[in-house]
Amino acid sequence: MAPDPANDRITTWIGSSTSDTITVAGRDLPGELMGTVTLTDLAYLLVTRREPTAGQRRLLDAVLVSLADHGLTPSALAARLTYTGAPEAIQGAVAAGLLGAGSVLLGPAGDTAVFLADALPDDHADEALRGAAAEAVEGRRRQRLRVPGLGHPVHRVEDPRTPRLYALAQEEGVLGPHLRLLRFVADAQADASGRRLPINGAGAAGAALVDIGIPPMSVRGVVLIARTAGLVAHLTEEAETPMGMTLWHEAERRAEPPAYG
Amino acid sequence: MAPDPANDRITTWIGSSTSDTITVAGRDLPGELMGTVTLTDLAYLLVTRREPTAGQRRLLDAVLVSLADHGLTPSALAARLTYTGAPEAIQGAVAAGLLGAGSVLLGPAGDTAVFLADALPDDHADEALRGAAAEAVEGRRRQRLRVPGLGHPVHRVEDPRTPRLYALAQEEGVLGPHLRLLRFVADAQADASGRRLPINGAGAAGAALVDIGIPPMSVRGVVLIARTAGLVAHLTEEAETPMGMTLWHEAERRAEPPAYG
Amino acid sequence: MAPDPANDRITTWIGSSTSDTITVAGRDLPGELMGTVTLTDLAYLLVTRREPTAGQRRLLDAVLVSLADHGLTPSALAARLTYTGAPEAIQGAVAAGLLGAGSVLLGPAGDTAVFLADALPDDHADEALRGAAAEAVEGRRRQRLRVPGLGHPVHRVEDPRTPRLYALAQEEGVLGPHLRLLRFVADAQADASGRRLPINGAGAAGAALVDIGIPPMSVRGVVLIARTAGLVAHLTEEAETPMGMTLWHEAERRAEPPAYG
Amino acid sequence: MAPDPANDRITTWIGSSTSDTITVAGRDLPGELMGTVTLTDLAYLLVTRREPTAGQRRLLDAVLVSLADHGLTPSALAARLTYTGAPEAIQGAVAAGLLGAGSVLLGPAGDTAVFLADALPDDHADEALRGAAAEAVEGRRRQRLRVPGLGHPVHRVEDPRTPRLYALAQEEGVLGPHLRLLRFVADAQADASGRRLPINGAGAAGAALVDIGIPPMSVRGVVLIARTAGLVAHLTEEAETPMGMTLWHEAERRAEPPAYG
């Protein structure tokens, strides 16, 4: 197949090096970035190609902190069980933990981001957002799909991260149209179904990330930065007080073989 | 096999939740962490169970920033090529990128950390460090193993990250025994081999992380937090200006089949 | 959350062991399986809970052989590049290669299987299949989605695996309704679009697997067994005559930095 | 860095394609491989570049069958828990399962293969093998390392796979020097320690694979082909009768938080 020469270029904005320089995001790494910016700043810069404002930085850190860890989730357990078999390759255990960030767990932040970005009208006035929310909710219901960003199996009345994220966004002056639209979506869903579901922390996080300038398609990835921090903590703990072998033996002990065919 | 009841416990310090609270590292997540700490702070807290001092925080951020990205490395290319086949599962592309963090690439930070921690004497005076360094280098040479933390294929005279990290550690008052020992290791290696190799950025990073309190065994994992940020940036870029298909077609075009057996 | 006790069971048909026995799929592993069945037989047995007939076995092997390797694909390149960084953890390199089996590459076999299984009418007569194919193609076109199983970037006129799979299925008497439906789908697509696309090898493979009894949802996984064999071959070759470093240096050499923002 | 032009080639023996042909291992894929060889044959061919004899084929299948699955192991549990979070990306769940194939679990087959290949003397007479075994065991004990291939946490007296593999190798005339050396290694270990450990199934598998011509460094990879089959079965079962959520809730319910720091 003859590749299109116009598409046959390899370009990158992210980084390059020579024998005595390292450039990241167009900045001299040792001179302009190390000691000057945080990892959160650099992540924002690399993904958006802009430096965050003080408010964007604080909200991004709040979102990342809110998603870093949720205890012994399937993701953390998969990482720990992988460590049990291959403790010498910790990158594999972290990778295993990240692989569970999909449509059911952790992925909903990105799904909400894409859903809201698709639904957002040009006019950001309350009335326009309310109408767009009703339409988007109706569309999901027609396709018999869940509305992303709503409901939580544990936090059935209110997810404690949600009001905190909204308050921080307000305080920093970055409460934008996606966070606002998400509230109207929750209202529309309650009207349509007769049962109010809380805005969950993942949904609020996804909306907040788009409001501070993260591309909707990148939200799912940005969430993984936070989760890697949580997984590294789990593996540090697993090395000291392991639970992998116990989980294994208990599963085997409890397993009931069905009648064999 | 009867599991030892004493080992049969499942404990975690990291996180837990109830219907209206989420606790991470013993702190109330929305009330005490969100809006208050950075992701870097939280990573430090989760891994060490202490809050960082201002100097530790700045050095940790500098290390993470120094390791986040190095351009179109094998790790970044593997992530991009994985995205080519499965763009709907970005967690898989990030995982693929992390899996290349092993003994050759990225792993050396952790290897240096463990090497230095094993070699460090109780007495941290210059003379004691110099002797320990000579002994540790001699031990590696006897086993015909490379001394970790030294040499770089591109930065042959000086890795520009290294003097910056030492200067920052000095400035913040956290230039500790592992960073100091690494300098004596470089001297001992030059004496023994007759050829001076520069301290590479990964090695200096590993030493600095141990000096600010990261357990040596966790260094390899902490590095992955930074790398995840770099990989997410590569995948954001790959979605906009892809190079995966070009890399594929070029490899196929260039491949020379040997005579078939 | 109170888990429903009825759902709170852990059952598995696959395997168990005691101090002196190992049972897999309800059979004594050393006495009934080792030396008696092939890996292909065991895979069939574990996934379907039935032993394959001779014809099913031959077709399953043909499908697996057809999908094991396609040269220096993105999946093979990702595995090789991962090996470059972490040669000591070959499981990571294989995993990286598998992670690219998604919606674009390798996944289409499973997508075709699910698409055909959903479209298949109860009546398997030609006329009924023709009608179901037309309807299914129309449905995809209405949603502006591609019809799975058709077209190939390299094999534009005919994918050489396809006629071979159909001939083998015919010869073994296992040419079933899914393979037949796929032909009508190709016809319906040609009628609707005015341009005939060949049935690709992945699509024919997916149809054949469902015809021999693999659950449609498992097709995507079964394909990975074959691909693992191909990846292990690539990594064996990479250890002897590596290309990872060359791919890296070429990508860096060719990379054109855009104007920095 | 100027790459050495002599190393700057990209060669592959494995596969290539044109618009109307697909070549794998130097054979025409549809004409010479599909319908003619099994997946096991193809794996052998790709890894060794030779076709297996009947005896090699039967032993390879027996080894792969013996390693495909061992019930609810950490590897299977990690795959199932990953599926819980990301059921749409089954390649990620399989990858997570493979990532636990390391130094503790599943890796020992490869470790035994490399250990035996390194220890094997040129002279394969019993006396020479006995001496080489004693020396190799002594070497491991001096380094305070375990002797690979011996002992099993469940099968303390005899691993039922081991005598079956030896009997099959004998029957097929492929009981070679590595399987024989492993028996002397078990004797030498018993003599040196005063306590006999059984040859475990992974160790016998690793020795058998080298005896039939698999390169020692590739054994760890070949084992993964078998394990992929087992993992696909676990995920098929998990889709029907899931245990992931139960494992999660039980881990959380059982977790005891230590006193917070």
pLDDT digits (tens, 9 = 90+) for B58-106: 999 999 999 999 899 999 999 999 999 999 999 999 999 999 999 998 8
Those residues whose C-beta lies under 8 Å from the C-beta of residue A203, and which sit 6 or more positions away, are: A108, A109, A112, A148, A149, A150, A162, A182
- The alpha-carbon radius of gyration of chain A (Å, integer) is 22
The tens digit of pLDDT for each residue in B132-171 reads 999 999 999 999 999 999 999 889 999 999 999 999 999 9
The three-class DSSP label of residue B157 is coil
Query: Can you tell me the distance from the alpha carbon of A111 to that of C106, in angstroms, rounded to the nearest whole number?
Result: 24
Token pair for B107: 């792993």
HEC string for D207-253: HHHHHCCCCHHHHHHHHHHHHHHHHHHHHHHHHHCCCHHHHHHHHHH
Query: Can you tell me the distance from the alpha carbon of D43 to that of C236, in angstroms, rounded to the nearest whole number?
Result: 11
Contact indicator for A9, B144 with CB cutoff of 8 Å = no
B116, containing H or E segment: helix B107-119
Residue in chain D closest to B258 (alpha carbons) equals D13
- Using CB atoms, list chains with 3+ pairs below 8 Å to chain D: A, B, C
The tens digit of pLDDT for each residue in C28-38 reads 999 999 999 99
Q: In what order do the strands lie in the sheet with B22-24?
A: B15-17, B22-24, B27-28
Q: What pLDDT does residue A154 have?
A: 85
Contact A257 C88 (CB under 8 A): no
Q: Tell me which amino acid residue B188 is.
A: A
Cβ-count burial D13-33 (b if 16+ within 10 Å, e if not): bbbbbeeeebbbbbbebbeeb
A5 pLDDT band, cuts 50/70/90, is very low
Is the minimum CB–CB distance between D1 and chain C shorter than 8 Å? yes
Burial class from Cβ neighbours inside 10 Å (0-12, 13-18, 19+) for residue D236 reads buried
User: Over 90: is that where the pLDDT of B8 sits?
Assistant: no
How many whole angstroms from its chain centre is CA A7? 31
> Which residues of chain C, if any, have pLDDT below 50?
1-6, 260-261
Query: Can you tell me the distance from the alpha carbon of B15 to that of A230, in angstroms, rounded to the nearest whole number?
Result: 9
Which chain D residues have a beta carbon less than 8 Å from that of B10? Answer: 251, 254-256
Token pair for B97: 């990128």
Q: In what order do the strands lie in the sheet with A15-17?
A: A15-17, A22-24, A27-28
Question: What is the nearest CA distance from B47 to chain A, expressed in angstroms?
Answer: 5
Query: Can you tell me the distance from the alpha carbon of C44 to that of C48, in angstroms, rounded to the nearest whole number?
Result: 6
Query: Can you tell me the distance from the alpha carbon of B162 to that of B184, in angstroms, rounded to the nearest whole number?
Result: 14
How confident is the prediction for chain A on average, in pLDDT? 93
Complex ipTM above 0.90? yes
Question: What is the nearest CA distance from C79 to chain B, expressed in angstroms?
Answer: 7
> Which residues of chain D, if any, have pLDDT below 70?
1-7, 257-261
Is the minimum CB–CB distance between A75 and chain D shorter than 8 Å? yes
The tens digit of pLDDT for each residue in A123-174 reads 999 999 999 999 999 999 999 999 999 999 889 999 999 999 999 999 999 9
Those residues whose C-beta lies under 8 Å from the C-beta of residue D233, and which sit 6 or more positions away, are: C14, C43, C46, C47, D69
Q: What pLDDT does residue C144 have?
A: 93
Q: Which of C18, C70, C73, C82 to mutate to test the interface with B (most CBs of B within 10 A)?
A: C82
Contact indicator for B45, B51 with CB cutoff of 8 Å = yes
Token pair for B182: 């690494």
Question: What is the nearest CA distance from D36 to chain A, expressed in angstroms?
Answer: 30
Instruction: Give the residue from C69, C39, C101, C45 showing the smallest Cα distance to C226.
Output: C69
The shortest CB-CB distance from B236 to any of A39, A72, A218 is to A218
- Helices D54-67 and C39-48 pack at an angle, to 10 degrees, of 30
Residue ranges of alpha helices (H) inside chain C are 39-48, 54-67, 74-85, 90-99, 107-119, 126-142, 161-171, 177-193, 201-211, 219-240, 244-254
The shortest CB-CB distance from B91 to any of D86, D254, D255 is to D86
Q: What pLDDT does residue B154 have?
A: 85
DSSP-derived secondary structure letter, C16: E
Instruction: Give the residue from D191, D201, D132, D143 showing the smallest Cα distance to D168.
Output: D201
Residues in chain A: 261
Interface of C with A in 188-227 (CB under 8 A): none
Which chain B residues have a beta carbon less than 8 Å from that of C110? Answer: none
The tens digit of pLDDT for each residue in A152-162 reads 988 999 999 99
Query: Can you tell me the distance from the alpha carbon of B157 to that of A22, in angstroms, rounded to the nearest whole number?
Result: 14
Least trusted range by pLDDT, from A17-21, A29-33, B73-77, D134-138 = A17-21
Q: What pLDDT does residue D3 have?
A: 44
Burial class from Cβ neighbours inside 10 Å (0-12, 13-18, 19+) for residue A126 reads exposed
Residue in chain B closest to D14 (alpha carbons) equals B257
Lookup result for tokens 């042959």: B156
Count of CB atoms within 10 A of residue D3's CB?
13
* Alpha-carbon separation of residue D120 from B173, D182, D212 (angstroms): 55, 10, 15
Contact A17 B222 (CB under 8 A): no
Question: What is the nearest CA distance from B240 to chain D, expressed in angstroms?
Answer: 22
Q: In what order do the strands lie in the sheet with D27-28?
A: D15-17, D22-24, D27-28
Is the minimum CB–CB distance between D77 and chain A shorter than 8 Å? yes
Is the minimum CB–CB distance between B4 and chain D shorter than 8 Å? no
Contact D68 C62 (CB under 8 A): no
Those residues whose C-beta lies under 8 Å from the C-beta of residue B75, and which sit 6 or more positions away, are: B97, B98, B100, B101, B105, B106, B227, B231, C81, C82, C85
Question: What is the nearest CA distance from B219 to chain D, expressed in angstroms?
Answer: 20
The three-class DSSP label of residue A157 is coil
The shortest CB-CB distance from B154 to any of D1, D95, D261 is to D1
Count of CB atoms within 10 A of residue D5's CB?
7
User: In the Cβ-directed half-sphere of A255, how many Cα atoms lie within 13 Å?
Assistant: 24
Residue ranges of alpha helices (H) inside C100-200 are 107-119, 126-142, 161-171, 177-193
Query: Can you tell me the distance from the alpha carbon of C153 to that of C157, in angstroms, rounded to the nearest whole number?
Result: 10
The tens digit of pLDDT for each residue in B182-224 reads 999 999 999 999 999 999 999 999 999 999 999 999 999 999 9
The shortest CB-CB distance from B100 to any of C74, C85, C105 is to C85
Contact indicator for B75, A94 with CB cutoff of 8 Å = no
Q: What pLDDT does residue D7 have?
A: 58
Those residues whose C-beta lies under 8 Å from the C-beta of residue A6, and which sit 6 or more positions away, are: none
Q: What pLDDT does residue C116 have?
A: 98
- What is the mean pLDDT of the segment spanning B39-53? 97
B17 pLDDT band, cuts 50/70/90, is confident
How many whole angstroms from its chain centre is CA D36? 26
Is the minimum CB–CB distance between D239 and chain A shorter than 8 Å? no
A6 pLDDT band, cuts 50/70/90, is very low
C28, containing H or E segment: strand C27-28
